[in-house]
Amino acid sequence: MTGFVELNDIRLAYGPGGDSTLALDGLSMTVKKGEFAAVVGPSGCGKSTLMKLATGLIRPQVGTVEVASKEVDGPVSMAGMAFQNPSMLPWRTTLKNVMLPLEIVQPHRRRLSRERAAYEALAEDLLSVVGLKGFGDKFPWQLSGGMQQRANLCRALVHDPELLMLDEPFGALDAFTREELWQVMRDLHAEKGFTTILVTHDLREAVFLADRVFVMSARPGRIIVEREISFPRPRPIDLTYEAKFNDIVHELRAHIADARAAA
């Protein structure tokens, strides 16, 4: 199956020679265009390494990585990324933090000076979508953790990426704020249609958001299970408390427990 993101028989080790740590071995996965994929697995299995491979931040010793049918040989400019730590620059307002990728990624960097008003309007629209209307002139220290993470999502999306990579973006938030942001992410994905890969330890989060969940083995990581999530969209948050939903969560937990036991 041809996909938008393809990792083919990846092997990657960290460190020199005999002291190297084998992070991934024989990992293959395919994510279709517009799909929302989640990756789960035991701690240290290589989930974040997978993210770096897909965005071209690192390259494998063996195997190939392709995005949009092109082999990845450097940073992927069409990707947006959001992490657990929002890493907002404290000296920039929320609006200017959101607009930061426009100063880096082409062709936006080239157009920014002459089209600044239009880009500012785009960033303000994104802030409004995630519930931050009127907060563009606030500094990070004036925002709660959940508000900073909302702004972080806007920053990842402001340059209209075709691929969105999410590395534990909601992990440090309280349960209610996490659920609010799951719904924000659900709605953004439905509206924009970007291909998404989410790395998470939260199995409820994975099942609520994803079209497919990939389960990784313990290190060296590889994909051992692909689980399709067929609940119709848009999914209401109440779904996460239903038996059929939690049956899938327990099924995935069992796969991870088996992977840890086999390590």
Q: What is the pLDDT of residues 89-139, one digit of tens each?
A: 999 999 999 999 999 888 888 999 899 999 999 999 999 988 899 999 999
CB proximity list for 68: less than 8 A, separation 6 or greater: 4, 78, 162
- pLDDT band, residue 171 (cuts 50/70/90): confident
Task: Using alpha carbons, list the distances in angstroms from residue 50 to 164, 219, 248.
Answer: 14, 12, 24
The amino acid at 215 = V
**pLDDT tens digits, residue range 198-257?**
999 999 999 999 999 999 999 999 999 999 999 999 999 999 999 999 999 999 999 999
Q: Average pLDDT of 79-86? A: 84
Peptide bond into 107 cis (omega under 30): yes
Report all structural domains of the chain as residue ranges with CATH numbers, in order of start. Answer: 1-78+165-263 (3.40.50.300), 79-161 (3.40.50.300)
Q: Average pLDDT of 169-176? A: 85
Dihedral sign for Cα atoms in the order 150, 151, 156, 157: positive
DSSP state of 236: P
**pLDDT tens digits, residue range 154-163?**
999 999 899 9
Q: What is the pLDDT of residue 1?
A: 47
Q: What is the pLDDT of residue 15?
A: 77
**Is it the case that residue 8 has pLDDT exceeding 50?**
yes
What percentage of residues in the chain have a pLDDT greater than 70? 97
Chain position carrying tokens 């389960």:
215
If one counts every other C-beta atom within 10 angstroms of the C-beta of residue 75, the result is 10
CA angle 173, 83, 122 (to 5 degrees): 95
**Is it the case that residue 189 has pLDDT exceeding 70?**
yes
Q: Beta partners for 10?
A: 27
The b/e string for 190-201 (b: 16+ C-beta within 10 A; e otherwise) is eeeebbbbbbbe
Q: What is the pLDDT of residue 19?
A: 60
CA angle 173, 178, 183 (to 5 degrees): 155
Distance CA 79, CA 84 (A): 17
